[in-house]
Copies of this chain bind each other. A is one copy, B any other.
Amino acid sequence: MNDVEKMKRRGLMLVLSSPSGAGKSTISRELLKGAGNLAMSISATTRPPRPGEQNGKEYLFIDRDEFDGMLAEGEFLEHAEVFDNFYGTPRKPVEMALARGQDVLFDVDWQGQRQLKRNAAGDVVGIFILPPSRAELERRLHTRAQDSEEVVRKRMAKAFGEIIHWKDYDYIVVNEVVEDSVAQVRAILTAERLKQGRQTGLAGFVGAFRESR
């Protein structure tokens, strides 16, 4: 058995969730740069492509009939409706990625994670990113000085509606300094890759110690 065999492992599904304003996008972007073998999940959607978007790159653009057909066949790991458009994560590409030891990154909310955990429990690792404080979140949600109190209050309520589900997640990262947060998420990824159950090549590797005993 060579090193490649020994290191065989099943990929994992890394979920990053956070309220808007917590810095998740920056962390995802940095993570995809540095952590080899991690790719963003590509969702299917019924919304029309925006200028510059390529089918199969940002999204898989499908029509409503195709979406309903896939849904009926149980081909989505999770799905959601947002402003009359439908979004879903096709199961097959994720399953193929995991089987070849590729990790997949998901940018979904707590409802998306709940569906992923229901459909692929042992493969999902959920990280919730928290803003460093209420004051800082409020500051970030005040994007324009002329926003009314009412608009900011609504944004805060929406953020809190996400934050309240923090206990659904395996790990919590409080994003004070973005470099630290990226390092913490990377450590989680490294650790989860070393989980006993994910290192599928180890059974054979360990067996080889016994052979000529």
Contact = CB atoms under 8 A, between A and B. Distances in A.
Interface of A: 3, 6-7, 128, 130, 133-134, 137, 153, 156-157, 159-160, 163-164, 166-167, 169-174, 176, 183-184, 186-188, 190-192, 194-196, 199, 202, 205-206, 208-211, 213
A170 B196 contact: yes
A210 B210 CA distance: 58
A166 B202 contact: yes
Contact of A187 (B164, B174, B187): B187
Contacts of A163: 206, 209
Contacts of A210: 160, 164
Residue of A166, A172, A191, A196 most packed against chain B (CB within 10 A): A191
Given A211-B134, A213-B160, A173 B194 contact: yes
